[in-house]
Structure 1
Amino acid sequence: MPTSAEPLRRLGFLTIGSFDADDPGPGHEATLEVIALGEQLGFDSAFVRHRHLQHGISSPVAVLAAATQRTSRIELGTAVIPLGWENPLRLAEDLATVDVLSGGRLQPGISVGPPMQWEHVRDALYPDTADREDFGRDRVSRLLRFVRGEQASSFSGTVGIETFSERVQPHSPGLIDRMWYGAASDSSATWAGEQGLNLLTSSVVRAPESGETDFATIQRQQILAYRAAHPAGRVSQGLVVVPTDSATAEQRARYTEYAGARDVRVGIPQGPAGLLFAKDLIGTSDEIATALYAHAAFREVDEVVFALPFGFPPEDYLQILTDMATKLGPALGWTAGT
């Protein structure tokens, strides 16, 4: 619970990993360079978003596998993998493999629900079973069982020269304690806590039936609901935060324009789900620190994964991350890792 007298314990960042559809290599390389830069700057974690059929990272686990070979300390996370696109058994194998490659640094974040654009992708994704697929919480439970090392096959033993295991291989024992859930409501936050998952909060929440529209108040209540179910669980906050201490005048103007275009959504429930968006925090590190200390939900966490704005060039991310690590982090009492 950071205050001016109680420091922020862990500082991380989140990137979408944008790329050019006609030349995707440089964009993926830039994402890996951003993660390596994060480690050099002392960040505790680097998370990547998940984007299917878009010009953002479609396979975060594969990208993080590459990142394991360029880093040695920083935690590597996903925020979040939508399980509607995944087979839980296969995903458990991928997660365990990357966790082994990273030396136990993987922090997988997951979520539930039908795939985005479901009506347009259902026949390609599940041509024979679309009407029978369950996109609810049971999909999470299946994944957790496999990650935990519970039975995945009714057979184990040797056939000829091949040996088979009844559980996912490789098995990474500590991975189950580093699984995260992306929740946007009190009920999903409570459920995550009951499953022993860590909680990823973001810049989006669902408007409650009470009619409350203040983002910080709603997010704080979700965190409290989670902690009531799982007091020892980790909670991370993921607001869009852009410090401008070393930014050029042109960068500051562009950042302000970006935030202004998004601010029109703040306080107004959006779409059928009634989604509420947090205000992006743009300004000097001292200004952002003041705003965060006044944020009811921020006062309930001791670690953050601040989201980088979408679609900015690498030089902007260099400036933002550098200011975040050298100015904003210290303003919040955080100490860089080594």
Structure 2
Amino acid sequence: MPTTNRPLHRLGFLTIGLFDPAAPRAGHEATLELIELGERLGYDSAWLRHRHLQHGISSPVAVLAAASQRTSRIELGTAVTPLGWENPLRLAEDLATVDVLSGGRLNPGVSIGPPMHYDEVKAALYPDTADAEDFSYERVLRLVRLLQGERASSFSGTQGIETFSERVEPHSPGLADRLWYGAASMRSVVWAAEHGLNLLTSSVVKAEDSDDFDETQLAQIHAFRAHHPAGEAARVSQGLVVVPTDSATREQRARYEAYAASRLPRTREPQGPARMMFAPDLVGTSEQIAERLEANPAFREVDEVAFALPFTFERDDYVQIVTDVAEHLAPALGWAPGS
């Protein structure tokens, strides 16, 4: 299938939300301030990674609840929440609550599979049910059904002075339609399409029929739209790491280039038993990055992005990057605020 050329319509950024474990509030506050800056710059969306037992945001939904009260327009997403750590019913309650608070701006992204380092954490996470937990796609479907308002309890009505509902409350109509799936394999891509989810494709894919990253990602996007009820209108967001240097200092440029160079070897061939492939980080002026993206066949197939911020940079670096993306890179790709 030939590639198209879709002008960039929706601009987002993705951050891990690093913090100092000795003083975690400052890092969380910096993340909230970055989301506020994104709204002022005209970004369409801001996304948080999910990091358990690390010094990154462990509870994006809680942080996004705070962000919903400090912003009014920008959409708020998770990319992604690994459902192996979650009870779908409790997560549905939290997601619906934040969606209501935000005025319908929440875009939850999820994935499946056992939690990372499961043997080491299962005694704390699922002390009584570790061997019985289902980490399959069914966990996603449970979440979808609950967000849609499917019955969650066989009891409803009044008991004493309390009133009970049979569905998750609050119910937020339309939230289930804004659920995204973070897929790396063709199997997951096709499954997400067949179940009508939106697709988050990132800088990581699984080498299956090809060892070429761009070729693999392009094939996944084509397969997703071929199997999705919405066809070519099915939503796909791409999340490459881009670091424009237009307003960066000399010291920042040197550090950015060294960071990208240190990660380049992993992009040359599939990594590990799962044969995961990584896209190179794109560092340079907005003009240079735009040229590389416009030559990328997978990028030409999407009209929305959630550009990922590098994991280990400083607050001022992130401010410079998201500003240069909004003011220089994204306009060069056809984006304008409110487009």
Counterpart CA distance in 2 for 1:176 and 1:129 is 28
Deviation at 1:2, TM superposition (A): 7.1
- What per-residue deviation string (whole Å, max 9, x for no partner) do you get for residues 245-277 of structure 1? 111111000000000011110031112211100
Q: Determine the structure 2 residue equivalent to 1:90.
A: 90
Work out whether 1:131 is the aligned partner of 2:128.
no
Counterpart residue type for residue 220 of structure 1? L
Q: Determine the structure 2 residue equivalent to 1:287.
A: 288
Counterpart CA distance in 2 for 1:250 and 1:241 is 18
Given that residues 152 and 167 in structure 1 are in contact (C-alpha distance below 8 angstroms), is that contact kept between their aligned partners in structure 2?
yes
Given that residues 200 and 235 in structure 1 are in contact (C-alpha distance below 8 angstroms), is that contact kept between their aligned partners in structure 2?
yes
Q: Determine the structure 1 residue equivalent to 2:73.
A: 73
Counterpart residue type for residue 317 of structure 2? D
Deviation at 1:129, TM superposition (A): 0.7
Counterpart CA distance in 2 for 1:71 and 1:173 is 21
Counterpart CA distance in 1 for 2:56 and 2:107 is 19
Given that residues 206 and 276 in structure 1 are in contact (C-alpha distance below 8 angstroms), is that contact kept between their aligned partners in structure 2?
yes
Deviation at 1:294, TM superposition (A): 0.8
Counterpart residue type for residue 286 of structure 2? S
Q: Determine the structure 1 residue equivalent to 2:199.
A: 199
**Percent of aligned positions that are identical:** 70
Q: Determine the structure 1 residue equivalent to 2:117.
A: 117
Deviation at 1:313, TM superposition (A): 1.0
Q: Determine the structure 2 residue equivalent to 1:303.
A: 304
Work out whether 1:157 is the aligned partner of 2:153.
no
Counterpart CA distance in 1 for 2:97 and 2:134 is 26
Q: Determine the structure 2 residue equivalent to 1:167.
A: 167
Counterpart residue type for residue 224 of structure 1? H
C-alpha RMSD of the superposition: 1.1
Q: Determine the structure 2 residue equivalent to 1:218.
A: 216
Given that residues 2 and 298 in structure 1 are in contact (C-alpha distance below 8 angstroms), is that contact kept between their aligned partners in structure 2?
no
**SS of equivalent residue, structure 2 residue 202:** coil
**SS of equivalent residue, structure 1 residue 264:** helix
Work out whether 1:237 is the aligned partner of 2:238.
yes
Work out whether 1:104 is the aligned partner of 2:107.
no
Counterpart CA distance in 1 for 2:195 and 2:220 is 16
Counterpart CA distance in 2 for 1:146 and 1:267 is 42
The change in CA–CA distance for 1:57 and 1:2 in structure 2 (over 3 A counts) is farther
Given that residues 157 and 164 in structure 1 are in contact (C-alpha distance below 8 angstroms), is that contact kept between their aligned partners in structure 2?
yes
Counterpart residue type for residue 17 of structure 2? G
The count of aligned residue pairs is: 334
Given that residues 2 and 302 in structure 1 are in contact (C-alpha distance below 8 angstroms), is that contact kept between their aligned partners in structure 2?
no
Counterpart CA distance in 2 for 1:333 and 1:195 is 31
TM-score (norm. length: structure 2):
0.97
Q: Determine the structure 2 residue equivalent to 1:251.
A: 252
Counterpart residue type for residue 95 of structure 1? L
Matches within 5 A, 1:297-336: 297-336=298-337
Counterpart CA distance in 2 for 1:129 and 1:192 is 27
Counterpart residue type for residue 93 of structure 2? E
The unaligned stretches of length 5 or more in structure 1 are none
Counterpart CA distance in 2 for 1:76 and 1:144 is 18
Counterpart CA distance in 1 for 2:218 and 2:152 is 38
**SS of equivalent residue, structure 1 residue 201:** strand
Deviation at 1:337, TM superposition (A): 3.1
The runs of at least 4 consecutive aligned structure 1 residues that moved more than 3 Å come to none
Counterpart residue type for residue 278 of structure 1? A
